[in-house]
Amino acid sequence: MSALRQALADYLAVRRSLGYKLARPEKLLGQFITYLEDQGAATVTTDHALAWAILPGGDANWHAHRLSVVRGFAAYLRTIDPSAQVPPAGLIPARPRRATPYLYSGADITALIAAAASLRSRLRVATYQVLIGLLAVTGMRVGEAIRLDRGDLDLAGGVVTVRQSKFGKTRLLPLHPTAVTALRGYLRLRDRLHPQPGTAAVFISPAGTRLLYCNVHATWKLLVASAGLKPRSAACRPRIHDLRHSFAVASLLDAYAAGQDGQARLALLSTYMGHTDPSHTYWYLSAAPELLALAGQRLEDHLREQP
């Protein structure tokens, strides 16, 4: 193993010990080191980092992201190799962008679950129908649901334990009785159809293996098309992650409708969803015109009460 690849392995180990996953950075940095080796470079330089970052493919935002990944590694490398250069921030101008959430209605979610009935194999149908339902009523991340093991479900207590979340956090999510009933029914069916799976995962494939992230997304695209859901704009497409956004918005709308303190509910929702900072949850306020209108009405009522 070259000195650069050993340094990369050490860098990833240090970052992961802090709770970072780094699946994509590991892949990108491996490609970058291969580029350096092809160029005969012994360490990271700004020129090489920039040349690699802007290789054909992707737009300015993607190039900026590639360079930012190198900057993190270069900053670490410089602590053990003074000749390493850290590319300056902002070297590639990029405009931050965030997809507009596709907020699903109850009818949309029902259509998606109905569309899953067309999948091949009875187990696959049940797996995706219950997976979609669980994501919709808990706001879990897709990766969190895929990583659930049988031992993470306490159906008697109506609680699911989410492990290996972002930054290594673990949290408990209470389940509605209807969700508990759906999970019990799914587990009975999968145990009958596949009594000896090769994994402890809750959601399994017809082969008895844990679901793969890429396969779930590929299936999701099929279900979206079958359900007749269309993009609302170039930046607002029906992504599976938007089930999480929809849950957050619906929770805040329910709080306002019940006359509850929206800010207090926001803090609770932040913990429930596993956000590291309440400001990340606050962003959901801008995702729905209804929330903005309710928040504005609350402010207007408050100002009206002032002397």
Catalytic site residues? 141, 166, 241, 244, 275, 284
Element (H, E) at 192: helix 177-193
Residues 6+ away with beta carbon under 8 Å from 214: none
d(CA 12, CA 18): 10
Q: What is each CA distance from 186 to 14, 27, 97, 138, 299, in whole angstroms?
A: 40, 36, 38, 17, 45
d(CA 172, CA 259): 26
Sort 176 into a burial class: Cβ within 10 Å, 0-12 / 13-18 / 19+: exposed
Q: Is the dihedral of CA 29, 34, 35, 39 positive or negative?
A: positive
Q: In angstroms, how far is CA 55 from the centroid of its own chain?
A: 27
Beta-bridge partner residues of 174: 159
Rounded to a whole number of angstroms, the distance between the first and last alpha carbons of the chain is 73
d(CA 301, CA 307): 12
Q: Locate 181 and state its tokens.
A: 């009933």
